[in-house]
């Protein structure tokens, strides 16, 4: 009997699904442990594995439903009667589905992933704007002094508050850039896609810097040998 996969609500932007989950046979609609790429079909990406459209702005519930449905359909107990080889195949497909789910869970993960699919090398060093570099220098100095200089500790608390506010703005900016990217892809507009791609990369680069600074600041402020209270 074919496994019936859950779908988002009818009014969800992700319903109906654009594609079936990859492990589901396109002819029968059932889980196919021997599923292989059809002639001319590329290897499935994370979106294809979950049966979701390749968009950055996806409904979180749609991602969870797709993952839960597939994991249920691939549970090894369903395939014990077919022998250990079938169980091993189910486990292999489950591992791929889990990787896809983990890789698409957050907005930033999806943005980074679509950039990777578009050929971006996100490991290349990001060059932050001058104002962010200045903040980095100030934060690093305050972090180095936070354990024994009360003025530096106060400065670090102020900088941490600023970083957290900037991080919230970056999240909103990322959503806007993601919407532009999705629209450009839907319209097959290479010029708009190029602009959105640059915006996505810039926001993700800045977010990495800010996240690193927030982490370092919190570590410095919570160090057991810090001489001064946080308030």
Average pLDDT over residues 138-146: 80
Query: 5-14, 95-104, 193-202 — which is least confidently predicted?
Result: 5-14
Rounded CA gap, 173 and 201, in Å?
A: 12
Highest averaged pLDDT of the listed ranges 5-9, 143-147, 183-187: 183-187
With the C-alpha atoms ordered 145, 149, 152, 158, is the resulting torsion angle positive or negative? positive
Rounded CA gap, 25 and 36, in Å?
A: 10
Provide, rounded to the nearest whole percent, the portion of the chain with pLDDT above 90: 56
pLDDT of 152 > 90? The answer is no
Contacts of 213 (CB under 8 A, 6+ apart): 135, 136, 139, 159, 163
Q: What is the pLDDT of residues 203-213, one digit of tens each?
A: 999 999 899 88
The whole-number pLDDT of residue 19 equals 64
The whole-number pLDDT of residue 15 equals 44
pLDDT of 4 > 50? The answer is no
The whole-number pLDDT of residue 72 equals 93
Q: What is the pLDDT of residues 172-186, one digit of tens each?
A: 999 999 999 999 999
Cα–Cα distance list, 163 to 138, 156, 211 (Å): 12, 10, 8
pLDDT of 147 > 80? The answer is no
At 94, list the tokens: 């489950």
pLDDT of 26 > 90? The answer is no
230 or 32: whose pLDDT is higher? 32
152 or 102: whose pLDDT is higher? 102
pLDDT of 226 > 60? The answer is no
230 or 4: whose pLDDT is higher? 230
pLDDT of 11 > 60? The answer is no
Determine contact, residues 145/154, Cβ cutoff 8 Å: no
């Amino acid at each position: 009997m074919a496994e019936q996969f859950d779908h988002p609500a009818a009014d969800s932007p992700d319903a109906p699904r654009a594609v079936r989950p990859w492990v589901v046979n396109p002819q029968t609609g059932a889980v196919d442990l021997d599923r292989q790429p059809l002639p001319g079909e590329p290897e499935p990406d994370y979106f294809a594995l979950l049966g979701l459209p390749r968009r950055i702005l996806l409904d979180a519930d749609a991602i969870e439903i797709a993952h839960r449905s597939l994991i249920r359909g691939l549970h090894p107990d369903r395939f014990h009667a077919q022998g250990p080889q079938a169980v091993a195949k189910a486990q292999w497909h489950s591992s791929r589905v889990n990787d896809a789910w983990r890789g698409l869970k957050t907005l930033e993960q999806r943005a980074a992933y679509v950039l990777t699919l578009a050929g971006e090398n996100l490991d290349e060093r990001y060059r932050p704007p001058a104002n962010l570099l200045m903040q980095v220098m100030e934060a690093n100095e305050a972090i180095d002094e936070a354990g024994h200089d009360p003025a530096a500790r106060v400065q670090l608390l102020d900088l941490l508050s600023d970083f957290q506010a900037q991080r919230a703005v970056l999240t909103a900016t990322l959503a806007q850039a993601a919407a532009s990217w999705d629209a450009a892809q839907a319209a097959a507009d290479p010029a708009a896609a190029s602009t959105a791609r640059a915006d996505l990369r810039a926001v993700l680069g800045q977010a990495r810097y800010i996240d690193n600074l927030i982490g370092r600041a919190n570590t410095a402020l919570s160090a057991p040998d810090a001489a001064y209270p946080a308030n």
